[in-house]
Amino acid sequence: MPRSFSNPASSPAHSLAVLAGSVVLLLAPAALHAQAVTIDSSGRIKDGSTATVDRRLAPIQPTNVALDNSVLDSKTRLELIRLLDAEQGFAMRPFPRGHKGLTLVANGKLEPTGEAWLNMLTEYGVSAKPGDRVVLSDIKIDHNKIVFDLNGGPDAKHRFLRHIEVGGGTQMTPMSQDDGQEPAGARLTLVFQKQLPELTGSQVKALLAPLISFDVKTPVQAFTDTLPPVLKDAILNHHVMVGMSTEMVLYTLGQPQKKIREMDEQMPFEEWIYGDPPRPVEFVRINGNRVIRLEIAKVGEPVAIFDKDEVSGLMRTDGTPLTPTRTRTIAMGDTTYDPDTQAAPAPPSLKHAGDKPADTIPGNPTGSGEMGPVQFPQQKPDDLEIHRPPKPAQPAPDSTDPNQAPAQNPAQPAQPASTPQQKPAAPNPAPAQPPSPQSDQQPTPAP
Dihedrals phi, psi of 171, to nearest 5 degrees: -95, 90
* pLDDT value of residue 166: 84
* pLDDT value of residue 271: 94
151 and 257 share one domain? no
For residue 118, give the 3-state DSSP assignment: helix
* pLDDT value of residue 427: 55
Structural domains in the chain (count): 2
In a domain, 269, yes or no: yes
pLDDT tens by residue, 344-376: 777 777 777 777 665 555 555 555 555 667 778
d(CA 83, CA 191) in angstroms, rounded, equals 19
In a domain, 337, yes or no: no
For residue 321, whether the previous peptide bond is cis, meaning omega lies within 30 degrees of 0, is no
Q: What angle do CA 335, 341, 345 make, to 5 degrees?
A: 30
Q: Which domain-ending residue is among 306, 336, 362? A: 306
- Mean pLDDT of each 10-residue bin along the chain, 447 residues long: 42 38 41 41 44 70 88 90 91 90 91 85 90 92 91 80 78 73 88 89 92 89 88 92 92 93 89 92 93 92 90 69 46 63 76 67 54 73 63 64 54 50 54 52 54
30 and 103 share one domain? no
130 and 265 share one domain? no
**Pairing of β 102-105 and β 186-191:** parallel
Amino acid at 255: Q
Amino acid at 336: T
Dihedrals phi, psi of 262, to nearest 5 degrees: -140, 180
291 and 208 share one domain? no
279 and 197 share one domain? no
d(CA 284, CA 295) in angstroms, rounded, equals 7
pLDDT tens by residue, 21-55: 444 444 444 333 333 444 444 444 444 444 455 67
Domain that holds residue 150: 74-165+179-220
Q: Which domain-ending residue is among 240, 271, 306? A: 306
211 and 237 share one domain? no
CA distances from 230 to 123, 253, 304, 314, 377 (A): 32, 17, 21, 8, 79
27 and 105 share one domain? no
* pLDDT value of residue 135: 93
For residue 172, give the 3-state DSSP assignment: strand
89 and 144 share one domain? yes
Q: Are 204 and 197 in contact (CB under 8 A)?
A: no
Q: Which CATH number is 29's domain given?
A: 3.30.1450.10
